[in-house]
Amino acid sequence: MEQFQEYRPLLFSIAYRMTGSASQAEDIVQDAYLHYQQVDTASIQSSKAYLTKMVTNLSLNYLKSARVQREEYIGIWLPEPMLTLLATGESLEMNIEQQESVSTAFLVLLETLTPPERAVFLLHEVFDYSFAEIAEILEKSPANCRQLFHRAKSHVTEKRQRVNIEPEKQHQLMESFVSACQSGNLDALTKLLARDVTAWSDGGGKVHAGLIPVAGQAMVARLFLNLMRKVPFDDLLSIEEVNGAPALVCWSASQLQWVLILDILDDAIVGLYSILNPDKLVFLQHQLELQQEKSG
């Protein structure tokens, strides 16, 4: 099973981008592992290709079954947050495609593609598989895969906002955002926001959260001044690297309460993603606890 362990980070990265769920990605990789144990590996020409095909198809099956759940989801659906390093399976010195492909904004954009478009786009654009390899994985013709890719690429390019700010500057912008919120400085906070800034919140119907996005500098600035004013004084706030971006996480005692991820473009905050659904915070809480154990 050494070969499986070698490709586990890659398999998890594919499953996470396909599903938008870290916990589901773990389940898919575990299912692939159990299946791989039953296979005569001597008959497999390429373990990487075989495992990629298995995980991609398990992800596609999940997306088909999840479609109804997503349609019935209460309020805004956002992907499950996770620490950047595990999301990429690489170091922070990842290429631009790797960094963008784990961002919350990008994962939300992927939701607008059909599952086959999503698979082809990710495998070719992010993981550098050839159309011949993708055709084998999806059991489609290379021509059909090219067509799916170009359709997906056109859609993504039209909607996509590229990251073009250094991580250190992103972190500084988050610190300025927190400082402005905590001091109640409306003018300073407004200046950090893009004119067309939008805020989304995902409570999953389990905690109070906005059911529709809030847009515009003035509206978003007032919203977050009000929200930060309500944070209990004994809650612990810290800035972490989540989904390739700075994120503010809030703990109440030993329980992760929410995570706020910023989408930054041209030195301004263009998007704010608040995940409050407790089911979507379990994986990140476990990651942060492990991180604290290792550092402490």
pLDDT tens track for 214-262: 999 999 999 999 999 999 989 999 999 999 889 999 999 899 999 999 9
Percent of the chain past pLDDT 70, that is, above it, reads 92
* pLDDT tens column, 262-287: 999 888 999 999 999 999 999 999 99
Mean pLDDT (the chain, rounded): 89
Domain 2-74+114-159 in CATH 3.40.190.10? The answer is: no
pLDDT at 94 over 50: no
Residues of the chain with CATH 1.20.140.160: 2-74+114-159
Helices 47-72, 131-138: inter-axial angle, 10-degree rounding: 60
With 0-12 / 13-18 / 19 or more C-beta atoms within 10 angstroms meaning exposed / middle / buried, residue 144 is middle
pLDDT band at 93 (very low <50, low <70, confident <90, very high): very low
Beta-carbon contacts of residue 174 (< 8 Å; ≥ 6 apart): 239, 246, 247, 248, 262
The predicted pLDDT at position 97 comes to: 55
The predicted pLDDT at position 84 comes to: 82
Helices (H), the chain: 2-19, 22-37, 47-72, 84-88, 96-100, 104-110, 115-121, 131-138, 142-159, 167-183, 186-192, 217-229, 282-295
The predicted pLDDT at position 114 comes to: 93
Residues of the chain with CATH 3.10.450.50: 167-295
Domain 167-295: CATH class, spelled out: alpha beta
Q: How far is CA 93 from CA 68, 78, 264, in A?
A: 37, 26, 18
The predicted pLDDT at position 91 comes to: 41
What pTM, to 2 d.p., does this model score? 0.89
The predicted pLDDT at position 98 comes to: 62
Q: What is the mean pLDDT of residues 97-112?
A: 84
Closest CA to 264 of 170, 139, 158, 135: 170
pLDDT band at 68 (very low <50, low <70, confident <90, very high): low
Q: What is the mean pLDDT of residues 95-101?
A: 63
pLDDT band at 46 (very low <50, low <70, confident <90, very high): confident
The predicted pLDDT at position 214 comes to: 96
What is the dihedral angle through the alpha carbons of 58, 64, 69, 70, rounded to the nearest 10 degrees?
Answer: 100
Higher-pLDDT residue of 197, 168: 197
| Residue 275 contacts residue 286 (beta carbons within 8 Å) | no
pLDDT band at 76 (very low <50, low <70, confident <90, very high): very high
Q: What is the mean pLDDT of residues 163-184?
A: 88
The predicted pLDDT at position 42 comes to: 78
Amino acid letter for position 18? M
